[in-house]
Amino acid sequence: MTADVASTRDYIALDERWSAHNYHPLPVVLTHGDGAWMTDVDGRRYLDFLAGYSALNFGHRHPDLIAAAKAQLDRLTLTGRAFHHDQFGLFCRELAELTGTEMVLPANSGAEAVESAVKIARKWAYQVKGVPDGAAEIIVAGANFHGRTTTIISFSTDPEARNEFGPFTPGFRVVPYGDIDALRSAVTGNSAAVLLEPIQGEAGVVVPPKGYLAEVRQLCDDTDTLFVADEVQSGLARTGATLALDHEGVRADLYALGKALGGGIMPVSAVVGRADVIGVLKPGEHGSTFGGNPLACAIGRAVVRLLATGEFQERSRELGAYAHSRLGELEGVAEVRGRGLWASVQVAEGRLAGRQVSEELAERGVLCKEYAGNLRVAPPLVITRAELDRGIDAIAEVLR
């Protein structure tokens, strides 16, 4: 705190004056985090029911992750990919082993991982499938969310994400999510890949119809088309499995990972998958100055070690089932969707809704986020049952 910035109002005024207005945060100014809790400038504590959109799966400042980061900070933080470093190969091997894949392309943000997967799929289509140069298409689902880059919003169906940001990148076909017949009709000889979220996050934690993802896999096999799964939000234990596709016994050719891979400390992402697909990249064709840097790799390795025990997957399964049951019984709740510790609560008509719900929850010491007309419930996986009850009790009070 400085002399001219002392209160919540001061900090918010500073943000409003000097930062771009591309977000509309709740009027809370946070300074500390520990486990499932955060503290604001006035010393008030809040239960975190958002977990940084899955970036904080392991909670705030998990001691193993902080220790790994501090140890690496004392050694080496950045080399660029012009040189090898001692964390890189270990990180790639350990992440591949965790996810049951063969090769890893490290990056930074989730959007960068998705963009990289798009590039890989196109190059594979030209080099391996034999698609005419410049003709490759990628099929995506409506109501998707894969990031905010110009190419990614080119295949978004969200007007707010697209309006006045064109012209857009060609080469994408959009079909309804969960509709295997529409997908089948869209696949052609020029199809490089089908890119899907196994569970659509920003659309309202939408779980596809049972068997749909297996049908997507079979369709891709039958047509020599890659299946690319965006598991930036759904992956790394959020749904109760290491990867959300694991619930269906389905394997993708490529996965985009991010958010939780950085342990809530820094942006870490990756494309993981088949070696013969990622292997189409040759030196000089793709790169990232910070992708796979020593600090990121050290943190990522610590994340992999936490996930390798299965503890967080189990916590998400058990606490998620409990949370879904309790939320579904609340007065004023029309529907609960999701999987694991990831739920979308649809508020019944005539009840307090939208941002007002989030504001009322904040008043009760619970930080959550409304979106798509629903309430997102996605606490850190370190949350206890008692803490979960506390947050759900607050939701019950607001909706009563």
Q: Which residues are catalytic?
A: 145, 230, 259
| Cα(282)–Cα(297) distance, integer angstroms | 22
Angle between helical axes of 88-99 and 294-308 (0-180°, round to 10):
30
Which amino acid does the sequence have at 52?
G
| Cα(341)–Cα(286) distance, integer angstroms | 35
Question: How many CB atoms sit inside 10 A of residue 272's CB?
Answer: 27
List Cα–Cα distances, 55 to 51, 112, 161, in angstroms.
6, 15, 21
- Please, are residues 262 and 113 in contact by the beta-carbon 8 Å criterion? no
Which long-range CB contacts under 8 A does 35-44 form with residues at least 24 apart? Answer: 35/59, 35/60, 35/61, 35/380, 35/382, 35/383, 36/60, 36/379, 36/380, 36/382, 36/383, 36/384, 36/387, 38/367, 40/8, 41/1, 41/7, 41/8, 41/11, 42/7, 42/8, 44/365
